[in-house]
Amino acid sequence: LSLTGFVGILETKIVLAKEAYQNTTKSTLKDRDYWYKLLYKIANPVISNLATGTLVKNMPLVTSPTFDSRSPKVSYLEAVGRTYAGIAPWLALPDDNTEEGRLRKKMKTEAIIGLNNCFADNSSDQLVFTKDYQPIVDAAYLAQSFLRAPKALWQPLKPQTKQAIVNSFKSLRNRKPFKSNWLLFGSITEAFLLSIGEDVDKERLNEGIIKLNEWYKGDGWYGDGPNLAFDYYNSFVIHPMMVDTLAVLLKHKLL
């Protein structure tokens, strides 16, 4: 093969590589465009209604006639906690002038307004923390959202909102989590309180980490209690909440 022929082949390969890169970049941008729009579509009904004080008014409630014996009122905290935990990493991104950035800034603003609204005295969307066991779960997701995006979701809140949230989280201490992945809900809520300089329930803070390590089954799988549950809780609860809780403990030199 002559030098000229080799250069010709090399140039062809470079062109093909550039085209492949450009196609991959376009595909990646299309993927991101799809995902952030889907995220906004899913989260916006909760966030926008909370911002306008109409979550309780407009959110449809569907409960099981045979299984779900909880008070329907806990469903609003369930929606808020899980929605905020899901959008927190996205809201933590810096502002920019893209369409995505515009929607993100809008949702971040409404998310703060919504929290200020629902934790205000006599709010029509006031969340329930003091009854039932389910608030242990969904307070944890709200706490996780503050750990994931402190500058976006915690720091801009009104002082009275912050105090109301702290009081609500501490009100959960009169109920103990079940001996399952629920222990991490107590741990991460206390970890958040620790992260903002509040007093903590040390037993509640540590129990989730201790027990989940005891229940480790190998190959990245933790038991949901002493037994393995082959479901999505390892990915949705156990791993992310372990990581976020341990990060706080490590920062405060408690490991």
Closest to 172 (Cα-Cα) out of 122, 128, 115: 128
* 65 assigned to some structural domain: no
* 255 assigned to some structural domain: yes
On whether both 85 and 163 belong to a single domain, the answer is yes
Per-residue pLDDT tens listing for the chain (255 residues): 666 665 566 677 776 767 666 666 667 779 999 999 999 999 999 999 999 999 999 999 887 777 766 778 899 999 999 999 999 999 999 999 999 999 999 999 999 999 999 999 999 999 999 989 999 999 999 999 999 999 999 999 999 999 999 999 999 999 999 999 999 999 999 999 999 999 999 999 999 999 999 999 999 999 999 999 999 999 999 999 999 999 999 999 998
On whether both 184 and 207 belong to a single domain, the answer is yes
pLDDT digits (tens, 9 = 90+) for 154-175: 999 999 999 999 999 999 999 9
Supply the range of the domain harboring residue 147. 35-57+71-175
pLDDT digits (tens, 9 = 90+) for 61-113: 887 777 766 778 899 999 999 999 999 999 999 999 999 999 999 999 999 99
* 66 assigned to some structural domain: no
Whether this prediction's pTM lies above 0.75 is answered by: yes
